[in-house]
Amino acid sequence: MINLEISPGHQNLSNMINGMAKSMIRPLSRKYDIKEHEKAVELENLAKMMEKMGGGGLGGGDKKDKKEASGAPEIKNGMQMLGVIGAMEMCWACTGLTLAIPGMGLGNAAIDAVASDEQKERFGKVFAAMAITEPGTGSDSANVCTTAEADGDEWVINGEKIFVTDGGQCTHVVVWATLDKSVGKAAIKSFVVPKDAPGLEVVRLEKKMGIRASDTAAITFTNCRIPRDNILGDATIARTAEERKKAFGGVMQTFDNTRPAVGAMANGVARAALDMTREILEKEGVSLDYGKRRWNSSALQAEFYNMEADYEAARLLILKAAWLADNKTPNSKEASMCKAKSGRVGSYITLRCVEICSSLGYGEEYLLEKFARDSKILDIFEGTQQIQQLIVARHQLGLSSRELK
């Protein structure tokens, strides 16, 4: 039974996170949007507070299942649910600064998803970026060309990664690399690489339209050596079709954790835009009367209600995907559904709110124009709109990636 009501404990944590976001992040939003690439030192104290609250990266942590008296797993809203709720509240304040909080990187979610208990102990407090995209590899993650070769007690990594979120400020990078390009996606593994590892070089920080408080880097790996036990998961290369499916599925589990979180980020920005637009409209004498039937409302009021309905639909899809993950139920289709819906809705709502508020939305007196700039990337990274729809179609039709491209 799926229960998408927020538990009292989660609601209390949500209220606490909202309070922190409102007082500690929103006031800095414009400052670090202007000062691109400058480290927001104020976030260090916030990171410590988030750690005490149990934050484990944007995908949430991974706690051991509690057992009921019968011995069956307890149905619960757990760390994944907390992760998406937290992402909504934090990105209501500022998406860029949320991504820049130490220990809240996308790489942390990858560690939470597939690391062993020993690795979680070792890497539990690092600030990890995620390096997947390459100059010749965009949405097709299976086409990774960066290589990892075993050499004694070490892995030697060679390749180039681009668009690495937090690549400049992080302490570690979770790198996707192939053990054998000829085998295809089954040979792709993820590795935790310390930022100070010999051979790792941050060669460029991108200038961007949005999420400017969070740096985006290009990183090269030249004979970069890391310990043998820094691989996440099994180092065995799958050979049979079933083994290959299972092996790459373990790597892709990262996305099943992070896509609902990115959807939650888009949902948080959409809510921020709706809240601010409502505030501006009320100041201008335009009231929203929910007691009226829609056909008796003005065109502007009706459009606002439609945007709120889209926002709520996306929010429920996110909660469902998180609930499934917390209860150890496959959620790949739902993760893609919520990411696709939230990314599209977030971009539409933020841009339409700018248009509705006219010069007040386009100027810098309010943050509406910044919300619109920030929201677009949330529809792109962690898999574009088109990729999410393709994944959903494969699940619905029961077809493999080879059968439906």
Catalytic status, residue 382: yes
Residue 103 has pLDDT above 50, yes or no: yes
Instruction: Tell me the C-alpha distance between 250 and 252, whole Å.
Output: 5
Q: Is residue 40 part of a domain?
A: yes
Domain match, 86 and 34 both: yes
pLDDT band at 240 (very low <50, low <70, confident <90, very high): low
Is the pTM higher than 0.75? The answer reads yes
Domain match, 324 and 360 both: yes
CATH number at residue 343: 1.20.140.10
pLDDT in tens, 247-259: 555 566 778 888 9
Strand, helix or coil at 15?
A: helix
Domain match, 375 and 313 both: yes
Would you give the DSSP letter of residue 188? E
Q: Which of 154, 242, 382, 403 is catalytic?
A: 382
Domain match, 47 and 30 both: yes
Domain match, 222 and 303 both: no
Structural tokens at position 197: 């590892």
pLDDT on residue 58? 63
Q: The domain containing residue 89 runs over which residues? A: 8-123
Of 222, 238, 254, the one marking the end of a domain is: 238
Q: Is residue 404 part of a domain?
A: no
Instruction: Tell me the C-alpha distance between 252 and 142, whole Å.
Output: 10
Strand, helix or coil at 282?
A: helix
pLDDT on residue 70? 43
pLDDT in tens, 108-134: 888 887 888 999 999 988 999 999 999
H/E/C letters for each residue in 348-403? HHHHHHHHHCHHHHHCCCCCHHHHHHHHHHHCCCCCCHHHHHHHHHHHHHCCCCCC
Of 88, 123, 158, the one marking the end of a domain is: 123
Alpha helical stretches, state H, 235-367: 241-283, 299-326, 332-356, 358-362
pLDDT on residue 254? 73
Q: Is residue 309 part of a domain?
A: yes
Domain match, 75 and 117 both: yes
Domain match, 111 and 135 both: no
Domain match, 278 and 393 both: yes
Residues contacting residue 109 through CB under 8 Å, at least 6 positions apart = 56, 57, 58, 59, 60, 83, 130, 254, 257, 258, 261
Instruction: Tell me the pLDDT of the chain averaged across its residues.
Output: 88
pLDDT band at 146 (very low <50, low <70, confident <90, very high): very high
pLDDT on residue 291? 83
pLDDT on residue 32? 96
Of 178, 211, 238, the one marking the end of a domain is: 238
Domain match, 114 and 173 both: no
Domain match, 85 and 188 both: no
Instruction: Tell me the C-alpha distance between 236 and 183, whole Å.
Output: 12
